[in-house]
Structure 1
Amino acid sequence: MSTSTMARIKAQASNINGSPSILDYELDHTKFEVPIWLRIPPELRDALLALEQKAMATIATMKKLMLRRGDRFNCLCSPDHAFFDRHAQSMEHLLGWKEEWNLINPTLAVSAKIPQQALRIFVDEGAYARLSHQYTQLVGAYLEGQFFNWCQARNGVIHLAHRLMCNPRSLKYNNPNDYKEFNKWFSKVFLSAMFQWESCLNALVLPTYEETIMDLRHMIYERVDNSMGFEGNFYIPL
């Protein structure tokens, strides 16, 4: 996927949905570092390192899913349709339009709206339904597989800490006070940091065909010249 296409999808995710996107998120690796004053067993440090790798992989997959979701406007037209390229090019124009390009002096940089004749949009509810089915299966597999495994591993760290640090048989690591401090850091600092990206899971839900058409109409109204007369440029393949 090209850099421009990814930038377009990121802008679409934030501008249309009005909510944070996983595509804007970068993992803060320092959140996996236990405070230096806190004593923990080396096995627990190793578990946190392994958890960091698992987080990176889980986030990467979520981003791939979000990119696939972000291509929903292209998927209004079947890629097998003869005019798919014209549809995709039209969507590129529509999604790439910005009201103002010069943020320093926006009054001098209001963008001209897109001429109607530059756009040819083809909508096919059947094509979108096929996308929805395939995408829903991918998200389901992610939730039941990689994301579930992440949650299990995340929760497993605190169980490991309790087993190692609250074991009266262990003369080396048994220290309930240290465990109490670790548990406080884990629940208040670490889990809060992870929630920043875990909560982006909700944004993976694919809008319905009707919702996507409404978003498309909103963009047309905002970005196309004389948009009220644009309905004639909507084509529904037979």
Structure 2
Amino acid sequence: MLTEKVRAIVVDDERYAREELVYLLTEQLHVDVVAEASSGEEAIVQAVQHEPDVLFLDVSMGKMGGIETAEAIQALKNPPQIVFATAYAQYAVDAFRVQATDYLLKPYNIEELTRAISKVKSKMTPAESKRALHKLAIENEGEIKYISISTILYAFREEQATMIVTSQATYEVKMSLKQLEERLEAYPFFRIHKSYLVNLNEVTKLTPWFNGAFQLEVNGRSEQLPVSRNYVKQLKERLAL
């Protein structure tokens, strides 16, 4: 609920920076700071232990930097949101790649902190509210594009990149297929293969292949997508076959 306190962990290798942010969050924004950490390694341990709603994370730390820490945090079963709090503006694109909710610059501005908390709270609302925009933000050729989720036909993994195929274009994105699947969990997407994710609303044909596997076609495309036999039963159930 929006009336509930946001549970946060503040991560910064500078003690006074941590203390300042903790003060602003607890005294002025009524956020519940459940832990502090002075390193990325400690942040991961604290996140597992306390299961916060958000990590306020510095970018430039010691052995394990903020971006690397955020990537490790995203691999957790129930990862918290990430808000970067840093003196360096040049890491904003990297922050986007790890799905940061916001990016704050030091010295802290209370209005910007307030907006960041509002963003965190909005993502804590039920799935129906989170689906309102119906768009997916992706980084493409150095720009941030917003594509309509309803236009996504399927996605697949190719070498080190994930490819998103829409009715208008194909985009290469840095996130893993698993991360994309998680971002689309409120929509009718289904994993048909370890390397393929498909929009069930766009499925037009399901054809037997061999050894219990199938091939699948989507609206407006001629290519046949592989359906692993391990996924066939559940796919047919989802398609009401």
Q: Which band: TM-score by shorter chain?
A: under 0.3
Higher strand share: 2
Q: TM-score normalised to the size of structure 2?
A: 0.22
The structure richer in helix per residue is: 1
The TM-score with structure 1 as length reference comes to 0.23
